[in-house]
A and B are shown apart, each in its own frame.
Chain A
Amino acid sequence: MMATALRAVVLLSAGIDPVSGRPAPVGTEIRAIGLARALGARAIGLHAGLPVPVLREYAGYGLADIVCLDGAGADPVTALARAILSGGLFAEGPVDLVLAGRRASGGADSGLLPYAVAERLGWPIVADVAAAQRATPAGPSPELEIEQARPRGARRTARVAGPCVLSVHEVAACVPDFVFAQARAAVLRTMPAGIDGSPPLAGGAEERAYRRRPRLIAAAAQASGGRVLVDPAPQDAARAIIDHLRALGVLPPPAGS
């Protein structure tokens, strides 16, 4: 039996470019589209906000259909959760999978929204996904096997069943190609969010231009005093290098000990 295609929703935040400040797609959300394609899912884009032109660029990476929730500014979490549970996104059935970037670029950038949506949906969330595949090829509630990215190239495998939320990491290798014709042909639909109320005033947080501040200098970097060995015997040089690397903890201790 052929596996039924997953029905995936990709959350699009429509960010800005950190250097130029102009509207630009967010890298992790592009990878989220790529992950949906890698899983062989049918994917729809979902954006809580007005249909801004930058959403077409996401479409170029492989979304034929993008839904914008008009009037969601007051409470995007509720609006997104309602749209996902409404059953109105896919004609074939309910949503199996929600994909998001791990952090937006151009808003509050707190990375909290996918967690808040998952909490509202009552679904599990796995963050920092580098790769995913279906553990069970078929079945009503698909189980996913996920590679979670951790610092310094480490990975952790996680299994999660049922409808779930995944937030995608920058190191995910699944970057789809941009196809201009797809960007042009995509349909941007607008649905009412069904939320009333005006956008909340920025609660207590004042905003100003970013100021770059120096970081603390790592104590370890200061401590290394710059030892120089001039023309040592090769064996002494090798020993000095190995001992230094062991002291730094990058070289595992010898197998014997």
Chain B
Amino acid sequence: MTGRPRRDPRAERAARQVGLGARPRFDLAQPPGGLSGIGPSGRPRRDPRAEQAALLVPGGDRPRLARGGTGGIGPARASAPAPVARVIRMDDPACLVVVVPDLPDGRLDRLDRQVLGAARVLADAASGAVVLLGGAGTPDLMADVGPAGADRLALVDLASDDPEYRAATVCAALAALSPRHVLFPDSDDGADLARRVAAHTGQGLMTGVEVLTARQAIRPSRAGRREQISAPPMLLTLAPDRVAPYAGEAREGRPLPVDAPPVPPGAGRIRASALRAADPATMNLAEAPFVVAAGNGVTDFALFRSVVAGLHATPGASRVVCDAGSMPRAAQVGASGTVLDAVCYLAFGIAGAPQHLQGLGRVEHVVAVNTDLHAAMVARAGLSVIADAQRVMPALRDALAAEDG
């Protein structure tokens, strides 16, 4: 006899049997003999699988474990009742922080949301309310402004073609609201409006603010070699991608009537027409929103040009192609060519040499067609097609032609 307790595997198995169906079923996770957590050796038993499952953080497509924290995050989260959509109300604000968004196509764009996030920073520090000014005649906006961080929505019509009239409308609304801060996006149109308002009211304006906290605002000056620091001013424009958009619980976005005297229709000294997109085939490469480029992997340039035309894109090329004379030098993308400001870049047969990738500095989305799975361009791309460009291009041209025809 060894003195160890004797196990009876048959009895242990029987103790784990669940249900009494036609086929016997056993719950092997259940500790044997009802002795919870104590193994046959007398030591507590661990179930590493269950422990791991308890550490699992919900969401995301790769499993993530919250080690080091208190266990049980996963199941606790999963079993908690879904949070009730709560709306934060601000009934008695100490002050107002006004945001004048651009609203291209009648919606808040990315920079508009960042400006709302910045306004929240200033408003929260002073228990103030964020007021979004503008947006009359854009029905989509109502549901959008609360989650983006606005307590109030002051519907004012800023859709006029006359920039002077828009500025006068904003000035009248500001006079009625007397806000503590007014924030504009530092986009072309937003900055234009902000400067008109600043010049008209005689208020100082801090343009292109890069850092904004409740106590200070920082902006570059002297050709970007120095920076100015001051308390957040009354009027400022916020540079893009500097302050995070508001991500907290939804705000009310309640309509706020503005009792400003009606602005008389201006003298109409400036008559502006609607925005006109450029012709992609001939536009300046540095400004183009969508560039399709050919590299050394492309041999049929007539085909390439027809694909570019079908995609309504601006043609580009790598240096090898320009050196060979297959594309004009003006089309060269890269360190010694043009640095792009495009939204999307589609590269046919381009390896992605460092000198070429420098030209993609600000491009957000890259699509690569290359025979080499390990090309640097494929590593940079959001969508890569590992195939012969000479076979993909005709298919692309035909698919586009079929849609149009």
With a cutoff of 8 Å between Cβ atoms, the chain B residues found around residue A211 in the complex are 227
B274 an interface residue at 8 Å Cβ cutoff? Answer: yes
Q: Is the CB of B229 within 8 A of A230?
A: no
B118 to A: closest C-beta gap in Å = 12
Mask: chain A, 88-127; 1 = CB below 8 Å from B; 0 = not: 0000000000000000011111111001101100001111
- Mostly helix, strand, loop or mixed at chain A's interface? mixed
- Interface CB pairs A-B, < 8 A, 8: A127-B192, A155-B276, A208-B229, A211-B227, A216-B241, A218-B364, A234-B391, A251-B311
B68 to A: closest C-beta gap in Å = 26
Residue of A nearest to B196 (CB): A115
B347 to A: closest C-beta gap in Å = 11
Q: Is the CB of A240 within 8 A of B274?
A: no
A248 an interface residue at 8 Å Cβ cutoff? Answer: yes
Cross-interface CB contact of A225 among B164, B221, B382, B400, cutoff 8 Å? B382
Q: Is the CB of A237 within 8 A of B224?
A: no
Q: Is the CB of A229 within 8 A of B311?
A: no
Q: Is the CB of B399 within 8 A of A242?
A: yes
Q: Is the CB of A208 within 8 A of B226?
A: yes
Q: Is the CB of B273 within 8 A of A158?
A: yes
Q: Is the CB of A205 within 8 A of B274?
A: no
Q: Is the CB of A228 within 8 A of B386?
A: yes
B275 an interface residue at 8 Å Cβ cutoff? Answer: yes
A171 an interface residue at 8 Å Cβ cutoff? Answer: yes
Q: Is the CB of A207 within 8 A of B276?
A: no
Cross-interface CB contact of A154 among B222, B277, B365, B404, cutoff 8 Å? B277
Chain B binder among A1-9, A13-21, A37-45, A47-55: A13-21
Given A18-B223, A213-B210, A245-B346, 20 more A-B residue pairs with CB atoms under 8 Å apart are: A16-B225, A18-B225, A106-B223, A126-B270, A150-B189, A150-B275, A155-B276, A156-B275, A157-B273, A159-B271, A213-B242, A226-B383, A229-B385, A229-B386, A231-B387, A237-B385, A240-B385, A245-B367, A250-B290, A252-B312
B310 to A: closest C-beta gap in Å = 10
B→A interface (CB under 8 Å): 110, 114, 164, 187-189, 191-192, 195-196, 198-200, 204-208, 210-211, 220-231, 240-244, 269-278, 283-284, 287-290, 311-313, 341, 343-344, 346, 364-365, 367, 369, 373, 378-379, 381-387, 391-392, 394-396, 398-400, 403-404
Cross-interface CB contact of A159 among B224, B229, B270, cutoff 8 Å? B270
Cross-interface CB contact of A124 among B198, B240, B270, cutoff 8 Å? B270
- Mostly helix, strand, loop or mixed at chain B's interface? mixed
CA–CA, A201 and B258, complex, Å: 37
Q: Is the CB of A115 within 8 A of B224?
A: no
Q: Is the CB of B195 within 8 A of A115?
A: yes
A181 an interface residue at 8 Å Cβ cutoff? Answer: no
Interface size on A, residues (CB 8 A): 81
Residue of A nearest to B313 (CB): A250
Residue of B nearest to A126 (CB): B270
B289 to A: closest C-beta gap in Å = 4
Q: A231-B386, A241-B385 are in contact. Are A106 and B222 (CB under 8 A)?
A: yes
A238 an interface residue at 8 Å Cβ cutoff? Answer: yes
A197 an interface residue at 8 Å Cβ cutoff? Answer: no
Q: Is the CB of A171 within 8 A of B230?
A: no
Q: Is the CB of B222 within 8 A of A152?
A: no
Q: Is the CB of A232 within 8 A of B364?
A: no
B219 to A: closest C-beta gap in Å = 8
With a cutoff of 8 Å between Cβ atoms, the chain A residues found around residue B386 in the complex are 228-231
CA–CA, A49 and B178, complex, Å: 36
With a cutoff of 8 Å between Cβ atoms, the chain B residues found around residue A229 in the complex are 383-387
Q: A112-B199, A160-B270, A171-B287 are in contact. Are A213 and B211 (CB under 8 A)?
A: yes
A106 to B: closest C-beta gap in Å = 5
Residue of A nearest to B388 (CB): A234
Q: A119-B200, A154-B278, A207-B226 are in contact. Are A251 and B312 (CB under 8 A)?
A: yes
With a cutoff of 8 Å between Cβ atoms, the chain A residues found around residue B270 in the complex are 124, 126, 158-160
Q: A110-B205, A154-B276, A206-B230 are in contact. Are A234 and B392 (CB under 8 A)?
A: yes
A256 an interface residue at 8 Å Cβ cutoff? Answer: yes
Residue of A nearest to B290 (CB): A250
CA–CA, A242 and B395, complex, Å: 11
With a cutoff of 8 Å between Cβ atoms, the chain A residues found around residue B284 in the complex are 153, 171
With a cutoff of 8 Å between Cβ atoms, the chain A residues found around residue B205 in the complex are 110, 112
With a cutoff of 8 Å between Cβ atoms, the chain A residues found around residue B396 in the complex are 237-238, 241-242
With a cutoff of 8 Å between Cβ atoms, the chain A residues found around residue B382 in the complex are 224-227, 244
Cross-interface CB contact of B188 among A18, A110, A128, A210, cutoff 8 Å? A128
Cross-interface CB contact of B277 among A109, A116, A153, A205, cutoff 8 Å? A153
A139 an interface residue at 8 Å Cβ cutoff? Answer: no
CA–CA, A89 and B188, complex, Å: 32
Q: A225-B382, A251-B311 are in contact. Are A232 and B387 (CB under 8 A)?
A: yes
Q: Which of A190-242 contact B (CB under 8 A)?
A: 203-211, 213, 215-216, 218, 220-221, 224-232, 234-235, 237-242
With a cutoff of 8 Å between Cβ atoms, the chain B residues found around residue A87 in the complex are none
Q: Is the CB of A237 within 8 A of B369?
A: yes
CA–CA, A224 and B277, complex, Å: 26
Cross-interface CB contact of A112 among B164, B198, B383, B400, cutoff 8 Å? B198
Q: Is the CB of A239 within 8 A of B365?
A: no
Residue of A nearest to B189 (CB): A150
Q: Is the CB of B241 within 8 A of A15?
A: no
A16 to B: closest C-beta gap in Å = 5
Cross-interface CB contact of A207 among B192, B221, B387, cutoff 8 Å? B221
With a cutoff of 8 Å between Cβ atoms, the chain A residues found around residue B114 in the complex are 216
Q: Is the CB of B288 within 8 A of A237?
A: no
CA–CA, A112 and B341, complex, Å: 26
CA–CA, A18 and B220, complex, Å: 12
Cross-interface CB contact of A152 among B192, B231, B288, cutoff 8 Å? B288
A140 an interface residue at 8 Å Cβ cutoff? Answer: no
